[in-house]
Structure 1
Amino acid sequence: MPVTVTRTTITTTSSSGPGFPTTVGSPRALTQPLGLLRLLQLISTCVAFSLVASVGAWTGAMGNWSMFTWCFCFAVTLIILIVELGGLQARFPLSWRNFPITYACYAALFCLSASIIYPTTYVQFLSHGRSRDHAIAATTFSCIACVAYATEVAWTRARPGEITGYMATVPGLLKVLETFVACVIFAFISNPYLYQHQPALEWCVAVYSICFILAAVAILLNLGDCTNMLPIPFPSFLSGLALLSVLFYATALIIWPLYQFNEKYHGQPWRSMDVSCSNRHTYYVCSWDRRLAVAILTAINLLAYVADLVYSARLVFVRV
């Protein structure tokens, strides 16, 4: 008797969020809402870096950062689509419960930073013409990509009572924010002149580095499904990490502005006192603006760590 073979696909709702099932190992994965959203991410980032590359409209550290952001997001989004289409989640070297949403959160923050930094430090200084038009269009597509990645995070984050990976929870997403803000701080303090003249400011740099490493370790443990390798329960580890980071960042929030903007400690309270800020038309961010940016970012990260501590303490309480 004749035998009929039908093609079988497997569907799952674990990575797509409620109401958005994803077809695994089939081209139908691209027709689902999450698949269409990732196609939008892919196209918008591709168009952004293509527009800029076609006219060479990027110069200096900020332009290079924006170009790297769009290229990196395009490449990783393409990898995720290939894995989804090929049904290769089980063979992927990292936890698929945690990786896509971790990346989507980072990509949303990366594109947000590029959408702000690129026009404010580069596009506004371009003369009217083809290069400026391409740069403005690239900024628009960067904003579209940012919204698309943020939408994926909103769709796939954990809901109350839902069993999912740690990175899809609020504390996991806060870890992403903490490490990203720390990376931006490192970019602003890339010039050692900003802190080497005072040991107290060097302590602030140590705080940013230590807390970044600890948060990165927590993320890597989850992406590698290695949390059971810790000598203590993972929720307790997270609570201790968050508490230590809050204490460290609290000291940095006091010391950094005090030594950078108080004349008593050889600081510069006014922007006009910094000669590097005298040139208005430059792609270079002057020293005083860098100091102010680091102070603001320190406050933002402190708030993130406080929220992280609250959520982590709840996990420990529930476990007990």
Structure 2
Amino acid sequence: MDSQGGPYLNKRAVCSPLGAARLCQLALGCAVVAMVTHSAGYSGSYGVFCMAVWALCFAVSVLVFFLDATRLYSCLPVSWDNLTVTFAALATLMQLVLDPCPYAGCDVRNFRIAVTVCSIAATLAYGAEVVLCRARPGQTVVGYMATASGLLKVVQGFVACVIFGALANGSEYSRQAATIYCVVVYAVCFALTTLVVILTVCGRTKAVRCMPFERFVVVYTLLAVLLYLSASVVWPVFCFDSKYGSPWRPSSCPRGKCPWDSKVVVAVFSFVNLGLYIADLIYSQRIRFVSSHLPGHPRV
């Protein structure tokens, strides 16, 4: 029982910097969904994607706030600290890339400008939660996802999704065995990263019985660095060398559906993820956290 919040409701879910950030998320998310539904509108696959992201972020934010305010998160078989900071980090990235009006001549431009402003503000609100929950240097924490290494896992997974999107957009990766190898590297690293996040959020870090979880993270991250290093070399060679492809963009290649463009996106984000894994390797050797099977307590 929390003497500050009473026997049932958690007053700190509102009267704290973290609570204020979540209230801003709710208000801004509600405003965005309402304006898009009312007049801003959305169409096409990109518009549907944007609407789905806004609606999902808003719905999960409502659920997080409700569970925190009622303390019902203690009934969930997950690590609450890890779950909430993971969602906040992912929502920050997803909100950051949305642009509801990418083309000129919008009939409802004023509403779409308002949606853009609110979406940017929501990005800052989710980012504020990440900052408030982030573990400080030298701090021993229960929530691994609140550490720099844990947050980097979310970014790595997000960048991998960008790579997969480019691969699916006519990248022609199946033409060379070497580029197929690169796709396997991206898939394996993404799967391992996802596994680490799931084990942490579910409070099952002790499921890795062969070694301590923090050591497992370091070993896996080193493996990911080596794999991404190889892919970052192999992919550009077999896509842009004149023997296998074209070092320059073909003049006849249509914009938006050009395989060469997709190959460039994959190459650039391969180097981005390589840098993220290197940073993760550095940070993961410096953290010390307490693993637990029990749901964590929210930071306020």
TM-score scaled by length of structure 1: 0.82
Specify the SS of the correspondent of 1:271.
coil
Q: Which amino acid aligns with 2:219?
A: G
Q: In the alignment, is residue 305 of structure 1 matched against residue 283 of structure 2?
A: no
Q: In the alignment, is residue 221 of structure 1 matched against residue 199 of structure 2?
A: yes
C-alpha separation between the residues in 2 aligned to 1:24 and 1:296? 50
Query: 1:240 and 1:195, CA in 2 relative to 1: closer, same or farther beyond 3 A?
Result: same
Residue 291 of structure 1 corresponds to which residue in structure 2?
Answer: 263
Query: 2:72 aligned to 82, 88, 95, which one?
Result: 88
Question: Larger C-alpha radius of gyration, 1 or 2?
Answer: 1
**Cα contact 2:24–2:122 (8 A) shared by 1:** yes
Structure 1 residue 178: Cα displacement: 0.7
Residue 118 of structure 2 corresponds to which residue in structure 1?
Answer: 141
RCO (CA 8 Å, sep 6+): is it higher in 1 or 2? 2
Residue 181 of structure 1 corresponds to which residue in structure 2?
Answer: 159
Structure 1 residue 100: Cα displacement: 1.0
Query: 1:292 and 1:133, CA in 2 relative to 1: closer, same or farther beyond 3 A?
Result: farther
Q: In the alignment, is residue 262 of structure 1 matched against residue 241 of structure 2?
A: yes
Structure 1 residue 60: Cα displacement: 3.3
Query: 1:94 and 1:272, CA in 2 relative to 1: closer, same or farther beyond 3 A?
Result: same
Pairs within 5 Å for 1:190-205: 190-191=168-169, 193-205=171-183
How big is the alpha-carbon RMSD for the aligned residues of Structure 1 and Structure 2? 2.3
Residue 10 of structure 2 corresponds to which residue in structure 1?
Answer: 26
C-alpha separation between the residues in 2 aligned to 1:60 and 1:196? 28
**Cα contact 2:169–2:257 (8 A) shared by 1:** no
Q: Which amino acid aligns with 1:220?
A: I
Number of residue equivalences: 285
Structure 1 stretches lacking a partner, 5+ long: 1-7, 13-22, 278-283
TM-score scaled by length of structure 2: 0.87
Structure 1 residue 248: Cα displacement: 0.8
Query: 1:51 and 1:176, CA in 2 relative to 1: closer, same or farther beyond 3 A?
Result: same
Q: In the alignment, is residue 49 of structure 1 matched against residue 27 of structure 2?
A: no
Residue 229 of structure 2 corresponds to which residue in structure 1?
Answer: 250
Structure 1 residue 194: Cα displacement: 2.6
**Cα contact 1:95–1:222 (8 A) shared by 2:** yes
Q: Which amino acid aligns with 2:239?
A: Q
Residue 103 of structure 2 corresponds to which residue in structure 1?
Answer: 125
Specify the SS of the correspondent of 1:273.
coil
Structure 1 residue 52: Cα displacement: 2.4
Q: Which amino acid aligns with 1:108?
A: T
Q: In the alignment, is residue 36 of structure 1 matched against residue 20 of structure 2?
A: yes
C-alpha separation between the residues in 1 aligned to 2:265 and 2:42? 22
**Cα contact 1:10–1:24 (8 A) shared by 2:** no
Residue 170 of structure 1 corresponds to which residue in structure 2?
Answer: 148
Structure 1 residue 128: Cα displacement: 4.1
Residue 81 of structure 2 corresponds to which residue in structure 1?
Answer: 97
Structure 2 stretches lacking a partner, 5+ long: 289-300
Residue 190 of structure 2 corresponds to which residue in structure 1?
Answer: 212
Measured against aligned partners, the alpha-carbon deviations of 1:241-280 in whole angstroms (never above 9, x if no partner) come to 101100111111112222222222123x333435222xxx
